Amino acid sequence: MTELVTKHPEPIHDVPAGNPTDNVWKLTWRVSQHRPRELWVGWSLFVVFFTMPAITGYFLARGYGALEGGDTTGTIWWAAAIAASETIRMIAIHHGALIWTKAWIHMQTLLRANMLSAQMASGGLHAGQPVGSAGSAVTHFRDDTEDVANFVDGMVDVSGGLVFTVIAGFVLGAADPNAALILILPLLGVGIATRVLDTRIKEYRAADRAATEGVTGLLGDVMAAATTVKVNDAAEPMLARLAVLVDRRRHTAVRDRVLEEGVQAFSKGAADVGLGLVLLVSAGAIASGSFDLATLALFTAYLGWLSFLPRMVGRVLARRKQAGVAFDRMSALVAEQAPTNTVRKRRLPIDPADKRTRSAVERPERVSLERLDVSGLSVAYDGRRVVSDVGFTVGRGEFVVITGPIGVGKSTLLRALLGLAWQADVTGSVRWNGREIEDRSAFLVPPNAAFLSQVPQLISDSVADNVALGPVDPVQLATALRLAAIADDIESMPAGADTLIGPRGLRLSGGQRQRLATARALVHAPELVVLDDLSSALDVETEVLLWTNLADAGMTVIAVSHREVAFRRADQVLRLEDGRIVGPAPRNSD
Amino acid sequence: MATQTATSGTRWRVLGALLRPDAWRWAGLGVLVAISSALLIAGPLVVRQIVDAATEGTTRADIVRLSLVFLAIAVVTQILAVIVVWSATIAAWRTTNDLRLTMTRHVLGLDHEFHRTHTPGELIQRVDGDITSVSDFLSTVVTKAAGAAMLIGGIIIVLTVLDWRLGLGMAVYVGLALVVIVQSRHRAVSESSDEMGALGRLYGGIEERLTAAEDLRANGAADHVAWRFVEDSEDALMSAVRRERAFLIMWWFVQGAVAAGWVIALVLGAVLVAAGTISLGTAFLLFQYVLLIARPLEEVVHELETVQKANGAMVRVVDLLDVRPKVLDEGDTNPPAGPLSIDVDAVHFDYGDDRPVLSHVDLHIGAGRSVGIVGRTGSGKTTFSRLVLRLVEPTSGGVALGGVPIADISLVELRRRVALVPQEVELFAGTVRDNVTLFDDQPTDAAVVEALHRVGLDALAAAGIDRALGAAGGGLSAGEAQLLALARVWLRDPDVLVLDEATARVDPQTEQRLEAAVVELMRGRTTLVIAHRLSTLHSVDEIIVFDHGLVVEHGDRGDLVGDDDSRFAQLLSISLDEEREPDGETASSEVTP
């Protein structure tokens, strides 16, 4: 007998689940190693870019040394050396930035792909909990992935700054050890200030964002209710409230900006303060002439760069924390809510240089349906029973109609049957040809089963892509469109099945959307078709046509309907009330 | 609502008018910026003195004194920088907050028609988003540009005083660098909006697929979604690389200009020192000034974007302020006290096209009468109620309340006397009290509680009226929201009441409460009930039937019900059939004869 559960991927075990903050280094390492070539080449070029100022600064110092010595030709040579080293620096950043842009997107793409595939998986070990609101889930794909990439980015800056600082430290120490030592003070100050204030900035920014939401929230309410505000002559009290809110936001905005500027001023000022300290410490040497113009030029040139490392160390510490939070948030979308599942290895050929061939769509093996037995099926949400102990049997080619008033659990029953009721407690069994289906959400997909939900969702793609959700044989597509009674509509469209239907299919009428989604459920000639409430969007004639088509095609169908025309054709009519089957609905005996 | 795009003249006038009330603050800010630029210029001059002193031979104490001066300047400069940002941000937000309130008041005063054609999201963007761009411009660009101009000007003056050739050289250098950098920027902007488009498609696609997740899971679409995601990610990657390439060109120019400055300063210094024209200290000063000027050169790229955004925003602000309402507040006659009669005389209404929404409407509704208004969707009954509320003006003909033409009544008086209970009740993010009084502080708590009791919202009153309600009606059912809207009316105690009946399904218990509250509320007022379900029109005195913009029937309810040939009686029999349909699920709540 054929195995009913087809997908057995191995989960990752080597990184323990649990507190993601502990693993943030390991998780980030995995993300960074998704495309090692782009990462390491980009990284190396950036380190060169950050290190070159040490060389340019040295040439500058030698140039001013030659100038002080009255060697004009020497100065010009050193100036040429400066131009050369700056050119090298520019070439390094040119290639580095281009390749790093790719590395940056590759890292985010891996995280996005893992979240998206967990959300799209039809059951199996890698399916994640469905999210409540798609709008807010998108922030995981945009902001959280960026927080992780930012952490890696910060590490590049730190390593570049480190190499520069070591070289600069040696050069400055050789020129004037005392002056070099005194610089540690302001630089340490910058590091500590950045570390402390970066966290504070985040808090202030959150407060500012909340204050802004208060303003836009009230504005949105007022604009949406403009007529109510008008007829109640309530504009002035509303404006008074708005005045309070915008004033509050002014405070948060000012605080946010001033703190940010404060951090910048601190690190910019550190260079000047550092130079002042150097001059002070070396006053004697300057007076005696042993601290010459070359040394002064060296310190001046390096000081602008020296605050970079402490600033970046402070920043990267803050970013590590943000990356931890990001992993925490992203793991809500993946299987077992394990952060390790956000960094699963996968091939993502998104660079035009990558070879990309579309692999065949993976589907479970078709198991011809002889009999479907549902028994003792119960569904509860938070302990509240919605469906109680439902049982029925469907034979091959049968048409079963489920009916009942609104809110009695018809949709829930269908979802539970198909393994789509994620948030609910589902008990009971569903047997396919007498064999228990272990993972219903993985097995009950085309070609075994297909589902049409009550409010079907389409995507901004072509008609063909929406129906087939993958490559398809044109004959198969045409058949599905005909069965769903939408073939004529499609033919009259300018580009036929290649017509783009707009965001969420909004270029189509409600009835067309419903029938297109029906075609989607039929295209793979599934063994079992499950249709949730067609009648809400279809007129009676179309519904009759549809039932006739399905019967002619010999399909096995479970459908929710309220129409007499469906009851007349049905082999069984199950009437649901309060989550229970209260017996077959009265049949018309005409 | 045709508006002309604001000319740059009006734009600057508006900006000027905006800054005037805070003129002192802005002037003070200018002084601060000048001081801070002067200090920036002074620092390197001190170093120059140190270098020259060391060349000529000096004492350690002298150098220590100069170093302390330099240190003090460095500290004060940074403190000043923070103060400048602080006061610029305060001034910018104060100024633009006033503009926000002006704009909101203006938009709320615009016609119903304007709000019908502009989404709340768009209006938020124009009232808050655009003005925030202006605010960013005022708080950062204005001070930075002023600071940079003063810095560059000051440096050129200082150098000219030292040696006119140095001043001229610096002026030419800065001028060339600015021209080149600004020129190189244009391409970067277009590439960057390209990238935003690609990212928008990527995130939009993800959102769409997450919304459709259940359908996609149930139909085994994971592989297909993954494929499309890879395609969209490739677009995002390529557009990001293109954007980066364009930015790098700009980067080459900026960094090239800075490096060229170092080289020129060094070579020029060497030549002039060798010629004996300038001192060693002045040669080094040149180098320090090149370092100093690098920052504004690097920033100009970024700030030009802010300028462009603010410019576009100002145009839209002025355009919006130019939109004028058609309903003008020019009357000052008060209609008599008590319930008001409604007279409609030869009213015709259309939206400026050939399709009349109302035609030849002549009606008299006596003071204190209650009237049910029925008709299918688009028959004109809602427009009729808007005329009585003076949300729209008739194209021709007139409406009078209590014998006074409606345009002769001041809007404040009209709003006090005529109230509306809309079909869909909008709730505000605020307390229960805020939602009943619409943020008015005048009514006492006791009056609010009384109003809630009157409409049967005792539980809500008991839970405390300072409890917060969500914006989307958190904690209130559709029926309760309707009752809350009735409480608003109780508090206002109007003489004419327009009830746009709710179509939302409410449970039978709430429906009973609603009906009882409505009957109570109608007493002693002239009431128009726009009915969507005829079964609820038990208690009205008269019925008006609208069809295709015409009044096809007007009479006492009792008479019409008794007359089998009346339109109302026919409508009534159809609607009862509809509501009796099995399950009650497909029954339309709209009257469709």
- Closest residue by Cα to residue A336 from A9, A5, A109, A31: A9
According to DSSP, the β-strands at B418-421 and B496-500 are: parallel
The separation between the first and the last C-alpha atoms of chain A, rounded to the nearest angstrom, is 44
What mean pLDDT do residues B21-49 have? 92
Q: What percent of chain A has pLDDT over 90?
A: 47
Q: Do A405 and B215 touch (CB under 8 A)?
A: no
Backbone angles phi, psi at A525, to 5 degrees: 45, 60
Could you give the C-alpha distances from A57 to A60, A74, A158, B532, in angstroms and in order? 5, 16, 20, 81
* CA-closest candidate to residue A480, choices A467, A491, A492, A471: A467
Task: Reduce the DSSP state of residue B425 to 3 states and report it.
Answer: coil
Sequence-ordered list of residues with C-beta below 8 angstroms from that of B471, at least 6 positions apart, any chain: A217, A220, A221, B427, B428, B429
Smallest CA–CA distance from B489 into chain A, residue:
A232
Instruction: For residue A181, count other CB atoms closer than 10 A to its CB.
Output: 13
pLDDT reading at A391 higher than 80: yes
Share of chain B above pLDDT 70, in %: 90
State ipTM: 0.86
What superfamily does domain B1-163+303-325 belong to in CATH?
A: ABC transporter type 1, transmembrane domain (1.20.1560.10)
Distance CA A307, CA A40 (A): 25
DSSP bridge pairs for A394:
A372
Exposure string over A289-311, b if 16+ CB within 10 A, otherwise e = eebbbbbbbbbbbbbbbbbbbbb
Residue in A218, A262, A293 closest to B280 by CB: A293
CA proximity to B387, closest of B426, B337, B347: B347
Beta strands (DSSP E) in A362-453 are 371-381, 384-395, 399-403, 425-432, 435-436, 449-452
Lookup result for tokens 């019908």: B116
**Tokens 């200082």 belong to residue:** B158
Mean pLDDT of the A121-137 span: 80
Rounded to whole angstroms, the Cα distance separating B208 from A459 reads: 6
**Tokens coding B196:** 């935003």
Q: Is A323 helix (H, G, I), strand (E, B) or coil?
A: helix
What are A131-139's contacts with CB under 8 Å, separation 24+? A131/A332, A131/A333, A131/B210, A131/B213, A134/B207, A134/B208, A134/B210, A134/B211, A134/B213, A135/B207, A137/A333, A137/B207, A137/B210, A138/B203, A138/B206, A138/B207, A138/B210
The pair of three-digit structure tokens given for residue A326, joined into one six-digit string: 């990001």
Q: Give the tens place of pLDDT for each residue, B464-522.
A: 888 887 544 456 776 778 888 889 988 888 999 998 876 544 555 667 777 888 888 88
* Token duo for residue A348: 């993502």
Residue of B nearest to A222 (CA): B428
- Which of chain A's residues have a Cβ under 8 Å away from the Cβ of B245? 98
Average pLDDT, chain A: 86
Q: How many CB atoms lie within 10 A of CB A488?
A: 9
Please say whether the beta carbons of B278 and B163 come within 8 A: yes
Alpha-carbon gap: B212 to the closest alpha carbon of chain A (Å): 5
Inter-chain residue contact B248 with A98, CB threshold 8 Å: yes
Domain spanning B342-584: which CATH class is it, in words? alpha beta
Would you say A459 and B209 are in contact if contact means Cβ atoms under 8 Å apart?
yes
CA distance linking residue A130 with residue A420, whole number of Å: 9
Token reading at B384: 């009729």
What is the rounded average pLDDT of the residues B360-367?
A: 91
User: By three-state DSSP, how is residue A85 classified?
Assistant: helix
Averaged over B70-75, what is the pLDDT? 93
- C-alpha span between A538 and A547 (Å, rounded): 12
CB contact under 8 A, B230 and A350: yes
**Distance of alpha carbon B150 from alpha carbon B42, whole angstroms:** 13
Cα distance between residue B127 and residue B321, in whole Å: 10
> Does the distance separating the beta carbons of B223 and A258 come in below 8 Å?
no
Residue A309: pLDDT over 60 = yes
With H, G, I as helix, E, B as strand and everything else as coil, classify residue A154: helix
Looking at residue B352, what is its pLDDT? 76
Candidate from A303-317, A531-545, B251-265 with smallest mean pLDDT: A531-545
Q: Which residue in B66, B205, B426 is closest to A228 by CB distance?
A: B426
Q: Does A182 contact chain B (CB < 8 Å)?
A: no
* Model confidence band, residue A408 (pLDDT cutoffs 50, 70, 90): confident
Question: Do the Cβ atoms of B259 and A266 come within 8 Å?
Answer: no
A531: enclosing H helix or E strand: strand A528-531
For residue A481, pLDDT over 50 is answered with yes
pLDDT tens readout for residues A547-589: 899 888 889 999 988 777 888 889 999 988 877 887 765 444 3
Element (H, E) at B530: strand B526-530
Going by pLDDT thresholds of 50, 70 and 90, the confidence category of residue B377 is low
CA distance linking residue B448 with residue B465, whole number of Å: 8
Q: Which of A75, A130, A348 faces B230 most closely, judged by CB atoms?
A: A348
> B237–A350: do the CB atoms touch at under 8 Å?
yes
Residues in CB range of A473: below 8 A, 6 or more apart = none
Provide the token pair at B447: 């009056």
The 3 state secondary structure assigned to B36-78 is HHHHHHHHHHHHHHHHHHHHHCCCHHHHHHHHHHHHHHHHHHH
Q: What are the two backbone dihedrals, phi and then psi, of residue A438, each rounded to the nearest 5 degrees?
A: -75, -55
Total CB pairs under 8 A between chain A and B: 418
Please give the single-letter amino acid code of residue A504: R
DSSP state of A341: G
pLDDT digits 0-9 by tens, B327-338? 888 888 889 888
Contact A534, A543 (CB under 8 A): yes
Question: To the nearest whole percent, how much of chain B has pLDDT over 90?
Answer: 34
Residue the block writes with tokens 């070579």: B267
Whether residue B186 has pLDDT greater than 80? no
Decide if A460 and B77 are in contact by the 8 Å CB cutoff.
Answer: no
| DSSP string across B142-205 | HHHHHHHHHHHHHHHHHHHHH-HHHHHHHHHHHHHHHHHHHHHHHHHHHHHHHHHHHHHHHHHH
* Bridge partner list, A399: A557
Q: CB-based contact (8 Å) between A322 and chain B?
A: no
In this prediction, residue A11 carries a pLDDT of 37
Residue (of B372, B346, B369) closest to B359 by Cα position? B346
For B347, what's the count of Cα atoms within 13 Å in the CB-facing half-sphere? 29
- By the CB < 8 Å criterion, does A68 face chain B? yes
Q: Are B483 and B432 in contact (CB under 8 A)?
A: no
